[in-house]
């Protein structure tokens, strides 16, 4: 079969969206790079500046040095996320909700961009948590990340709870940490029940999150992947578009609108 042109792929995705009623969008760090937040694995990504082996939950929990390192990275990411805005890819997914097409977004991201773009809180399943909130691991007191960032700016290296001196941790799932039970179960159920799964900006190598598109496929849904780099599921996708999420979806959505009119 002849390779499809980009135009044909964009038409094919628009057609899939128009025909679908329960779309699950699965997103990874790549959807937020057009907002200026680097992903982990691309050249210039976070792992080209930090060593991934030094960022595990166990190191955070058991060593002061590990916590210091984590907070250096969290400070950089938190500062960046505070000043960045959703991009056209986030906007397109918010529009899918307004059009009544979206069942939910399952995201690996911790940046809260889907909600900021207009998706309802109850339609965004955050598999790896949210960086805007911090909690005490001993007494569970909650803090906004903005407050902790201010402490870090003033020289604190490892923030501790003001009430009990317990370890403070952002509400994000670190590598090596157990996945949140409700979110993981809910995401699997929604993925198994959708009629179209659209992956945007994920290398699909972080498990168990990357099982979600697989569950969708196994249950008979169509699969579309928009990602710059290769993924292990490329061969299984009904539509595979190599490109930037924002650029691609900005071309897809006018065609969807047109056909729904």
The binding site for ligand NAD (CB under 6 A) comprises: 28-30, 32-34, 37, 39-42, 45-46, 108-111, 128, 201-203, 205-206, 226-229, 244-245
- Which residue lies nearer to ligand NAD by CB, 23 or 46? 46
The residue whose Cβ lies closest to ligand NAD is 30
Q: Which two tokens stand for residue 229?
A: 């780099």
109 or 251: CB nearest ligand NAD: 109
Residue 7 Cβ vs ligand NAD, minimum distance, rounded to whole Å = 18
Q: Which of 184, 180, 203, 216 is nearest to 103 (CA)?
A: 216
Considering the complex, state which of residue 27 and residue 161 has its C-beta at the smaller distance from ligand NAD.
27
Closest contact distance (angstroms) between CB of 203 and ligand NAD is 3
User: Pick from 79, 54, 81, 250: which is nearest to 152 by CA?
Assistant: 79
114: annotated active-site residue: no
Residue 221 or residue 226: which is nearer to ligand NAD going by CB?
226
Catalytic residue among 70, 90, 114, 128: 128
Shortest gap between Cβ of 155 and ligand NAD (angstroms)?
A: 26
State the minimum distance, in angstroms, from the CB of residue 229 to ligand NAD.
3
* Sequence-distant (≥ 6) Cβ neighbours of residue 15 within 8 angstroms: 259
Q: Give me the half-sphere count of Cα atoms (radius 13 Å) on the Cβ side of residue 20.
A: 27
Residues in Cβ contact with 63 at an 8 Å cutoff, skipping those fewer than 6 apart: none
In this complex, which beta carbon is closest to ligand NAD, that of residue 20 or of residue 27?
27
| N-terminal to C-terminal alpha carbon distance within the chain | 32
Our CA angle for 28, 33, 34, nearest 5°, is 125
Q: How far is the CB of 153 from ligand NAD (least distance, A)?
A: 21
Are β-strands 129-136 and 142-144 bridged in parallel, bridged antiparallel, or unpaired? Answer: antiparallel
Between helix 245-260 and helix 88-98 the angle, nearest 10°, is 30
Neighbouring residues of 44: CB distance < 8 A, sequence distance ≥ 6: 38
Q: Which residues are catalytic?
A: 128
């Amino acid at each position: 079969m002849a390779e499809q042109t980009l135009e044909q792929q964009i038409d094919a995705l628009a057609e899939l969206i128009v025909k679908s009623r329960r779309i699950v969008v699965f997103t990874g760090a790549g959807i937020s790079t057009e907002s200026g937040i680097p992903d982990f694995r691309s050249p210039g990504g976070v792992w080209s500046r930090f060593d991934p082996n030094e960022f595990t939950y166990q190191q955070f929990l058991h060593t002061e040095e590990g916590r210091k390192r984590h907070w250096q990275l969290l400070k950089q990411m938190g500062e960046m996320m505070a000043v960045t805005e959703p991009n056209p890819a986030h906007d397109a997914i918010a529009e899918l909700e307004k059009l009544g097409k979206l069942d939910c977004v399952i995201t690996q991201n911790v940046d809260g961009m889907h909600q900021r773009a207009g998706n309802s809180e109850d339609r965004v399943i955050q598999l790896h948590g949210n960086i805007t909130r911090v909690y005490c691991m001993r007494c569970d007191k909650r803090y906004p990340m903005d407050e902790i960032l201010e402490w870090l700016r003033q020289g604190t290296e490892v923030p501790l709870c003001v009430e009990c001196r317990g370890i403070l941790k952002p509400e994000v799932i670190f590598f090596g940490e157990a996945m949140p039970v409700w979110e993981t179960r809910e995401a699997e159920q929604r993925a198994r029940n959708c009629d179209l799964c659209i992956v945007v900006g994920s290398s699909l190598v972080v498990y168990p999150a990357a099982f979600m598109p697989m569950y969708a496929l196994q249950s008979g849904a169509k699969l579309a992947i928009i990602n710059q780099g290769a993924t292990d599921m490329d061969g299984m996708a009904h539509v595979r578009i190599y490109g930037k999420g924002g650029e691609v979806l900005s071309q897809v959505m006018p065609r969807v609108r047109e056909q729904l009119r």
